[in-house]
Structure 1
């Protein structure tokens, strides 16, 4: 079996689309089709069932997939051990989320790029469920999660730091002058501003309010954290966000912290597929993430 055929097979098996696999591999779709047929011919068995416009792995394809991934990983490991042994190289597909990409990871990305310029980082913005699935499938090499759980089936992970959350509002909001501490019941009738469903702190916040009232709270949804902050600063409502994302606004007085303590805790984590042989450049990246994010959270007090 040729390595290039196994690489193409693994990509098609991961995305379950000849068209998407061709785009990600920079091949013509006809090349992907011919390579899969060549692999099937060499093995004497079909690897995919064609169901109209959809495909799925056959039993033989399911059995081949873990071996294909091991062979591909071993090939990359062998190359790294022989070529550029003094300076790590390769590509890392990194799954992350907006709050981490914008507020936690810039020092890590900058340092790693300058120390290891031959390693190309490809950042993919996805939320928790999608990131975990992509790690299990091998689409991502490493991923950053912000989750209440710290163990994930099929993955290995390291907790980098707790991620404190803060409820914020504009200085003139009625809840900003309410004292002493707010109760969850005080939030059930106010306008809430948040990111899209699937965001871990948004989902946990909504679940807590549903538990109290029995019905979904009124959320005004914004696509990004920056848009959410602007909406809150404009008096559109209150929002629960990671403290690291609103530090500048709290310091300048654009936003104020409301006296409400979330009854849940999130942890920023770095994760990769369990049992994966880690090439040197991935090991270095994980070690740098653990060191720098922990230093950062220790320094800024979050």
Structure 2
């Protein structure tokens, strides 16, 4: 099997489109089609079912795909080891989210920038399903998840930390300073980021068990915090994102604990052999998360 044919097959299998694969590989579509047919001919099997304008992997294609990815990953690792000085290098595409990028990742990004200058980090802001899908398709090398579940089909994960949540409002809010129930919250104006965010979706599920609710959506955590501080309503957010506002008295924490626990995780595609710079990133993420989780670091 020629390496270039495996590269083309893996790309088509990932995006399930000859047209998109051709664009990303910068080939003519006829070249992509020809290379896939050449690989099929050499193996004596069909790798894709052609369903009009759509395609899908055959059983043989499904069996070949993990081997193709392992071969390509090993090839890239060998090329880097032979061509380089042994210093980690390359592009590392990481899916992340606003709360982690702004509040947990700066020490990790600073460490990598100074310690491994030949590693170029590319951060992509997505959440939930988008991040998981990008990891399965190979668009991202690693992805941060903040989820209740720690097992995800097609992915391997490393749990970095439990992520505490805080229900916050403006000082002087009617619910401040007393125990709060779901009925109290369902009657309040509710502020949130976009749907698809795990803690927002779980919070909404809890509230709708009591009464139908709706949220004012602000898109970002920063905008949601400002709206809460202005007295527009209450919001459930990662505690790390509101620590400064709580310390300054701009927001107050309401007496309600969510009945669910979220964990910050770093995920990658199952069966993927992580290159050296990705393994280093994972190791440092674990180390820094452990340091941040110590009581002294939370202050």
Is the structural similarity TM-score above 0.5?
yes
Query: Is 1:122 matched with 2:122?
Result: yes
Q: Deviations over 1:178-229 (max 9, x none)?
A: x42212221011111111221010011111112233x3x1211222112212
**Residue in structure 2 matched with residue 190 of structure 1 by the alignment:** 188
Distance 1:193 1:16 in 2: 38
Superposed CA RMSD in Å reads 2.3
**Residue in structure 2 matched with residue 200 of structure 1 by the alignment:** 198
Displacement of 1:15:
1.6
**Distance change in 2, residues 1:58/1:155 (3 Å):** closer
Question: Given the alignment, which residue of 277, 281, 301 partners 2:298?
Answer: 301
Question: Given the alignment, which residue of 217, 222, 229 partners 1:221?
Answer: 217
Unaligned runs of 5+ in 1: none
Query: Is 1:287 matched with 2:283?
Result: yes
**Residue in structure 1 matched with residue 101 of structure 2 by the alignment:** 101
Displacement of 1:289:
0.6
2:66/2:271 contact within 8 Å kept = no
Out of 1-10 and 41-50, give the one that drifted further.
41-50
Question: Given the alignment, which residue of 209, 233, 242 partners 1:211?
Answer: 209
SS at match of 2:159: strand
Query: Is 1:234 matched with 2:230?
Result: yes
Distance 1:31 1:97 in 2: 38
Q: Deviations over 1:244-286 (max 9, x none)?
A: 1112222232222112111111111112233332221111111
Out of 45-54 and 2-11, give the one that drifted further.
45-54
1:108/1:293 contact within 8 Å kept = no
**Distance change in 2, residues 1:254/1:17 (3 Å):** farther
Unaligned runs of 5+ in 2: none
**Residue in structure 2 matched with residue 70 of structure 1 by the alignment:** 70
**Residue in structure 1 matched with residue 152 of structure 2 by the alignment:** 152
Query: Is 1:277 matched with 2:270?
Result: no
**Residue in structure 1 matched with residue 134 of structure 2 by the alignment:** 134
SS at match of 2:79: helix
**Distance change in 2, residues 1:19/1:191 (3 Å):** farther
Distance 1:283 1:208 in 2: 38
1:96/1:125 contact within 8 Å kept = yes
Q: Deviations over 1:223-247 (max 9, x none)?
A: 2112212222232211100011112
Query: Is 1:56 matched with 2:52?
Result: no
**TM-score computed with the length of structure 1 as normaliser:** 0.88
Distance 1:286 1:27 in 2: 34
Distance 2:26 2:229 in 1: 44
